[in-house]
Amino acid sequence: MTTTGDPPTPDPPPGRFAERTRLAWRRTVLAVTIVALLALRQALLVPAPALRALAIVALVAGWLTILAVSSRRIVALRARRPAAVGSPVPTLTLFTVALAILGGLLVMA
């Protein structure tokens, strides 16, 4: 008696999911850039120079971090079978929380 298991799942179409994911990462970077520029505009209006400098450094560092994470993800998607790069969720969550705290400080200043 021969038992047959489930047939092997075929590879997904090579360009479809990778293209959608790549575009999603580009949209994420665009959204983060716009939010960072709006926060930067608010930071430039703060009268306290120390808080202004801290806000600008935090915004630039956060934006560069998100840019690096998204670039790494986009490059990993170029392979036929993309390798696991790790989860970007902690980085995005940290940036979002930090931006919310920074925005609150800028509004109260």
Written as six digits, the tokens of 104 are 């609150």
87: left (phi over 0), alpha (psi -120 to 50) or beta: beta
Domain positions in the chain are: 16-108
pLDDT greater than 90 at residue 9: no
**SS3 labels along 64-101:** HHHHHHHHHHHHHCCCCCCCCCCCCHHHHHHHHHHHHH
| Whole-number pLDDT of residue 34 | 92
Residue holding tokens 């092997």?
8
| Whole-number pLDDT of residue 46 | 85
Q: What is the pLDDT of residues 61-109, one digit of tens each?
A: 989 998 998 888 888 877 766 666 677 888 888 888 888 888 888 788 7
| Whole-number pLDDT of residue 92 | 81
Whether residue 41 contacts residue 52, with contact meaning beta carbons closer than 8 Å, is answered with no
| Confidence (pTM) | 0.70
